Amino acid sequence: MELNEVLRLVRKNIISLAPYSTARDEYKGALGVFLDANENPFENGYNRYPDPRQLELKGIISKFKGVAVENMFIGNGSDEAIDLCYRVFCNPGKDNAVAITPSYGMYRVAADINDVEFREVQLDGEFSFPGKEVLDLCDENTKLVFFCSPNNPSGNSFPMEQMLEFISSFKGIVVVDEAYIDFAEQPSLLTVLPKYKNLIVLQTLSKAYGLAGLRLGLAFADAEIMSIFAKVKYPYNINIAGMERAKELLARDVKSEIELLKSERKRVAAALKEMKCVQRVFPSDANFLLVRVDDARALYDALIQEQVIVRDRSRLKGCEGTLRITIGKPEENDRMLAIVKDWK
Ligand code: PMP
């Protein structure tokens, strides 16, 4: 799609929105006597408002993601970016969004909050990419399609060519949630971002970067879309404490942690496959495994008894009889494996 066609998908009131102009938008210098923002002048590290554009943190992220600052949005978790997709593109009570199921629950919750009709395509037993079925469910009011790759809770990635074929043929916005991409064997769609103007890629610092508590989610898209996100978001959506800690913690090298979690994923999957109560361990490109077992609820309870907490996904259509198990540290995984092995 051409950029002008993509911009036509934006709600009219958002296109014409005059955003709140912060004191820091008007004067951008770092030095001076700041009597413009009704702040308290006594320094304590947090008495000034944060940079609403988060340029310093974006600069750091830009280096390791290889994406320009203008193509980036930072939100209070990627959940904020999901909500903004609806607020920017979907007219409440009129437009709709299409997603796959089972997948991440916030796509539906954010649609419901924004009074946007939410349509779902059930994945098959192998959780394969349902491009045609999704396209068939779209109509002229479908503004957004959500894919999650690697998908939560199934753990598999969708083939890149199939996703790209979909993005080329769909006349709306495609949001690809790559929250778990750092654990995946296949490359991120960030590598092709400039070619697809209707693509929004979501990532997060909550998983591989270990910063879930700081709430820093990322969206990447064409600079025009990102500037619309910037005018719709709360002006100071990311606070100084979070940005400062992120800058420090992003200086660590997380590669060895990621490699360890990936090798643990392989080890845990192989060990689970040998166990009597395990029917199937689904292939995973993420930091968790979806496992079908003989009696999911009873095994969940047995694990809880030993203070090992996993996620029971068995009531989710398509995930009957399954538990979703996050890959922990080796000794934590061993503890979980010992309980599953001795069970029944
Ligand atoms: N996307 C997916 C697929 C997730 O599983 C999660 C969290 N579990 C999120 C997004 C939200 O991440 P964040 O912490 O950035 O809000």
Q: Which sequence spans correspond to the domains of the chain?
A: 3-249, 255-342
- Is residue 77 lining ligand 1, measured as CB closer than 6 Å? yes
Nearest-angstrom CA–CA distance, 188 and 175: 13
How many A from CA of 28 to the centre of ligand 1?
A: 33
pLDDT value at residue 11? 98
Probe residue for ligand 1, chosen from 61, 82, 100, 152 as the CB with the greatest number of ligand atoms within 8 Å: 152
Ligand 1: nearest atom to the Cα of 216: 15
Taking residues 15-44, report their average pLDDT. 90
Taking residues 35-50, report their average pLDDT. 96
pLDDT value at residue 21? 87
- Is residue 148 lining ligand 1, measured as CB closer than 6 Å? yes
- Is residue 78 lining ligand 1, measured as CB closer than 6 Å? yes
Atom 2 of ligand 1, nearest CA residue = 179
Helix, strand, or coil (residue 108):
helix
pLDDT value at residue 30? 82
- Is residue 177 lining ligand 1, measured as CB closer than 6 Å? yes
Write down the pTM of the prediction. Answer: 0.97
CATH superfamily of 255-342: Aspartate Aminotransferase, domain 1 (3.90.1150.10)
- Is residue 104 lining ligand 1, measured as CB closer than 6 Å? yes
Q: Strands 322-326 and 288-293: what pairing?
A: antiparallel
Residue range 3-249 forms a domain whose CATH class is alpha beta
Q: Could you give the count of Cα atoms lying within 13 Å of 134 in the half-sphere of its Cβ?
A: 28
Taking residues 213-229, report their average pLDDT. 98
Probe residue for ligand 1, chosen from 73, 74, 76, 78 as the CB with the greatest number of ligand atoms within 8 Å: 78
Taking residues 137-164, report their average pLDDT. 98
User: If you ran DSSP here, which 8-state letter would residue 187 be given?
Assistant: P
- Is residue 178 lining ligand 1, measured as CB closer than 6 Å? no
pLDDT at residue 22 greater than cutoff 90: no
- Residue 41 — φ and ψ, nearest 5°? -75, -10
